[in-house]
Structure 1
Amino acid sequence: MSIETVGIIVIIAVFILMFLRVPIVLSMALPAFVGIMYLRNENVLFTAIDSVIWERSSNYTLSTIPLFVLMGQLLFAAGFTDDLFDTFRKFFGRVRGGLGMATIAASAVFASSSGSSLATTSTMGLVASKEMLKSNYSKVLTGGSIVAGGTLGILIPPSTMFIIYGMITEQSIGKLLIAGIVPGILLTLLFMLVIYICVKIKPSMGGEQIVETVSWKEKLASLKVNIWIICLFIVVMGGIYLGFFTATEAAGIGALGAFIIALLRRKLTWKVFSEAIFGTLKTTGFIFVIVMGAFLLNYVLTITRVPNLLAEFFIDANLSPLMFFILMVIMYLILGAIMDTLAMVVVTIPILLPTLISYDFNLIWFGVIIVLLVEVALITPPVGMNCFVLRGVVKELDLGSIFKGAVIFVIPIISLIFLLYAFPDVVTFLPNLIK
């Protein structure tokens, strides 16, 4: 049996195990173990584990993940969620569909400290759903607005997905984080536009119009709560952009800043701090074990040359870059409907990487495209995790209504993907300025 055939069998085995709901790390590691033992021997297996697992896991850059996760945990503990929603409710409340827009805007600001879509969805869901349902918003628009806003958690930096993608593709973490800023703002505005169009077409979706008058003095005063997060975001991202510190150092500064903010707001009890630490450990452990499994699988793919064969196939097929891009988007839309999003990324990126390079795609730009495709997967049935998370924290919303609302917000995400294909400079402009 040729080494290429072994590689293909390993890939097929990975997908079969995932579809059988075997834990993700086992789905990747077991076929990789068997493949290494077949191609080499037991001694090489342990050498591979030592060189791949140990060396990669001791990479200093990986410390970025727990530090950014801790930053989000501490800011959540500082109790910003209610205040954020209240701020944007004062600005958009009187507009038809304004509470939905406030949800999106508050989610975008919270995303700048969270790094997680699931965390953004669950925290904003508890606050926003109560206000929207009380104002007789349709369950479809309520659920859709919250889960769509939640997806911004992995696009607007800091983002754990960008960090994982950067580790796999060996791209600059700092440039990837900066690359998500402009697309994140654009997607926020597109989500708000979709809400505006929905309530224009069907006003009943926007519930009762709020007649409460809020003075500009009150609006501006409410912005004070956002200053904490915005200042921290500027320090962290601005420091990376200006070259004052690396992404890893920025994560440490962000975590320290969040700790100080929580102290100043008098929210940081010992119980809250311990919950933030344990929440960080749990999230980081889950991510690390999957990433390590992905590195081991990547080792097998490298020695079997399967990714290179795939690149040669597409080149020989004379597919245009646009045609290849469309096929790839379709592939990810299908995989996103049946696979865990993190597994989808760590399994497919090593396979596609040589092909992406052969088509001369900018890998920083492609990182943003991948995150947008992950966002679609997070809100589409049957495995849309944001939808299940929202259903878990808000019992008044049924899963059917949430999914119906979520599908509406797939349109702006797909639109932005092809907009960024047509105008890649929207993504690459800021990262290219970093030395």
Structure 2
Amino acid sequence: MTPLVIGLIGIACLFGLMILRTPVAFAMLIVGFGGLYVLEGSRAAGGVLLIESYGAVSNYSLIVVPMFILLGNVSSAAGFSRALYDAAFAWVGRFRGGLASASVLGCAVFSAVSGSSVATAVTIGKVALPEMKRLGYGDGLATGAVAAGGTLGFLIPPSTGFVLYAILTEESVGKLFMAGILPGLLLMFLFMGTVWLISVFDPAAGPRGDDVALRDRMVLLGRAAPLLSIIGVSIGGIYAGIFTPVEASAIGAGLVILLAFAKRAINFAAFRGAVVETISTSAMLYMVVIGANVLNPFLAVTHIPEVLGNTLVGFGLGAYGTLLMIILGYVVLGMFLDGLSMLVVTIPIVFPVIQQLGFDPIWFGVVAVIVIEMGMITPPVGLNVFVVKGVAGDVPMATVFKGVMPFLFAMIVGLLLIIIFPSIALIIPQTMFG
């Protein structure tokens, strides 16, 4: 058999293993090592496994992941997410669908702490969904707003998705973080606009909340200010060039730990739980990176990325026509795979095509992350939908999927705007890095 045929068999085995619920990291390790063993022999396969494993875990840029995960876990354990949500509701709750808009706003702010879509959806969902149920919000709007808002955790920096994309493509983590800011804010406003439109056409789905006096709004904002300041220091420090993303992650984690203990918002048992959860999540992500780094040499030997690029270009669809094909492929994969799996499996294959077409790799990183976000709320997998269903309890799954559909349309609108106007994603990194 030719290397190309062996490569195609390997990809089929990879998806087969994931369908059988093999963890994506080990599926990539098995296929990457096994494929290299068949093509290059045991010595080459063993060498790649050792070298790439060491290279992955010793990657300085990857320190960003555990630090920001720790920041998010400590913030959640200390109850800071509640303060963010209360402040958001105080300012926007008096509008139609205000509580749902506050949920989206809370998700956006917490995304700048956690870097995780699932963590954002769970944390804000636990706070917001009981309140919306108490005030008579429609189940579809309530769950849809939280599920869609949670996807911002994969886009608004610090984003785990951007860190992995940077490692897989050897792009700048700092540039990707900065590129995600305006698209993240754009999606946030589109989600809030969607909430408002739903509430206008169905007032019962999103009733207005009580008007909060300006003095009380300022008090609630003051309670959220310490965490907002830490977010500002971390992200603002990167933008100002004061410190690198790795330094920003460590500073942010250190400050939130000091804040939690200074305010006596966390005890040692809860802190230990946050640390253990951080280690567990980080170990999983490190294994994913190791698996991807073992799989990539196998794909390179089989020439699959090169063949795919030539095939797509051969269709004569042009740059944007080919991009559309890639996006549609992501949409289909998103119906069956979680976002992390899609990212680490597909980027090594499609990235050479993107380079061949002349697209900016930072811009494509934003596009890819948004499309992967869409997969988080599309049936039949829709990871965020399942997470919100777990928090919502008695709300039928069909209702949750129905509730996210308007927000999915809003994401499509946002994606089109970023494709038509690439400067939305590129203006900040170009301003910073030239």
Q: TM range, normalised to the smaller chain?
A: over 0.9
Distance in 2, matches of 1:25 and 1:81, equals 31
The match for 1:262 is 260
1:45 is aligned with what amino acid?
A
Alignment of 1:126-145 (within 5 A): 126-145=126-145
Distance in 2, matches of 1:40 and 1:82, equals 54
The match for 2:350 is 352
Counterpart contact for 2:148–2:377, Cα < 8 Å: yes
Q: Secondary structure at the match of 2:324?
A: helix
Range with bigger deviation, 72-81 or 335-344? 72-81
Q: Secondary structure at the match of 1:223?
A: helix
Range with bigger deviation, 239-248 or 144-153? 239-248
Distance in 2, matches of 1:223 and 1:107, equals 16
Query: By how many angstroms is 1:213 displaced?
Result: 3.4
Confirm whether residue 404 of structure 1 aligns to residue 415 of structure 2: no
Distance in 2, matches of 1:411 and 1:176, equals 24
Alignment of 1:303-318 (within 5 A): 303-318=301-316
Counterpart contact for 1:138–1:205, Cα < 8 Å: yes
User: After superposition, what is the alpha-carbon deviation per residue over 1:280-306, rounded to whole angstroms, capped at 9, x for unaligned?
Assistant: 011111111122111111110112221
2:354 is aligned with what amino acid?
L
Alignment of 1:50-199 (within 5 A): 50-199=50-199
User: After superposition, what is the alpha-carbon deviation per residue over 1:188-233, rounded to whole angstroms, capped at 9, x for unaligned?
Assistant: 10000001111111222114x33x3322122122211232222112
Distance in 2, matches of 1:222 and 1:88, equals 9
The match for 2:413 is 415
1:189 is aligned with what amino acid?
F
Query: By how many angstroms is 1:16 displaced?
Result: 2.2
Counterpart contact for 1:337–1:377, Cα < 8 Å: yes
Range with bigger deviation, 13-22 or 403-412? 13-22
Query: By how many angstroms is 1:308 displaced?
Result: 1.2
TM-score by length of 2: 0.97
Counterpart contact for 2:147–2:377, Cα < 8 Å: yes
Counterpart contact for 2:93–2:211, Cα < 8 Å: no
Query: By how many angstroms is 1:394 displaced?
Result: 2.5
Distance in 1, matches of 2:83 and 2:60, equals 36
> Which among 283, 286, 291 is matched to residue 284 of structure 2?
286
Distance in 2, matches of 1:357 and 1:213, equals 52
Range with bigger deviation, 86-95 or 286-295? 86-95
Distance in 1, matches of 2:214 and 2:329, equals 48
> RMSD in angstroms over aligned alpha carbons?
1.4
The match for 1:319 is 317
Distance in 1, matches of 2:107 and 2:314, equals 45
Counterpart contact for 1:52–1:299, Cα < 8 Å: no
Query: By how many angstroms is 1:236 displaced?
Result: 1.1
Alignment of 1:374-389 (within 5 A): 374-389=372-387
Q: Secondary structure at the match of 1:379?
A: coil
Query: By how many angstroms is 1:74 displaced?
Result: 1.3
Distance in 1, matches of 2:77 and 2:205, equals 33
User: After superposition, what is the alpha-carbon deviation per residue over 1:39-62, rounded to whole angstroms, capped at 9, x for unaligned?
Assistant: 111111111111212122211111
Q: Secondary structure at the match of 1:22?
A: coil
Confirm whether residue 223 of structure 1 aligns to residue 260 of structure 2: no
Q: Which structure 1 residue ranges, 4+ long, deviate > 3 Å from structure 2?
A: none
Distance in 2, matches of 1:4 and 1:334, equals 23
Distance in 1, matches of 2:388 and 2:299, equals 37
The match for 1:328 is 326
Distance in 1, matches of 2:133 and 2:220, equals 23
The match for 2:29 is 29
User: After superposition, what is the alpha-carbon deviation per residue over 1:345-380, rounded to whole angstroms, capped at 9, x for unaligned?
Assistant: 101000011100011111111111111112111111
Distance in 2, matches of 1:48 and 1:129, equals 48
Counterpart contact for 1:178–1:430, Cα < 8 Å: yes
Distance in 1, matches of 2:430 and 2:234, equals 18
Counterpart contact for 2:366–2:425, Cα < 8 Å: yes
Distance in 2, matches of 1:325 and 1:141, equals 32
Distance in 1, matches of 2:261 and 2:42, equals 52
Query: By how many angstroms is 1:95 displaced?
Result: 1.5
TM-score by length of 1: 0.96
The match for 2:3 is 3
Range with bigger deviation, 215-224 or 168-177? 215-224
Distance in 2, matches of 1:225 and 1:147, equals 26
1:300 is aligned with what amino acid?
F
Query: By how many angstroms is 1:4 displaced?
Result: 2.2
Query: By how many angstroms is 1:134 displaced?
Result: 1.0
The match for 2:426 is 428
Contiguous gaps of at least 5 residues in structure 2: none
Q: Secondary structure at the match of 2:395?
A: coil
Counterpart contact for 1:178–1:431, Cα < 8 Å: yes
2:49 is aligned with what amino acid?
I
- Identity of paired residues, percent? 36
Counterpart contact for 2:18–2:27, Cα < 8 Å: yes
Q: Secondary structure at the match of 1:434?
A: helix
The match for 2:250 is 252
1:107 is aligned with what amino acid?
C
Counterpart contact for 1:78–1:261, Cα < 8 Å: no
Range with bigger deviation, 415-424 or 258-267? 258-267
Query: By how many angstroms is 1:22 displaced?
Result: 2.6
Distance in 2, matches of 1:67 and 1:81, equals 18
Contiguous gaps of at least 5 residues in structure 1: none
Q: Secondary structure at the match of 2:5?
A: helix
Gap change, CA 1:241 and 1:92, over 3 Å in 2 = closer
Confirm whether residue 340 of structure 1 aligns to residue 338 of structure 2: yes
User: After superposition, what is the alpha-carbon deviation per residue over 1:329-350, rounded to whole angstroms, capped at 9, x for unaligned?
Assistant: 1111110010121111101000
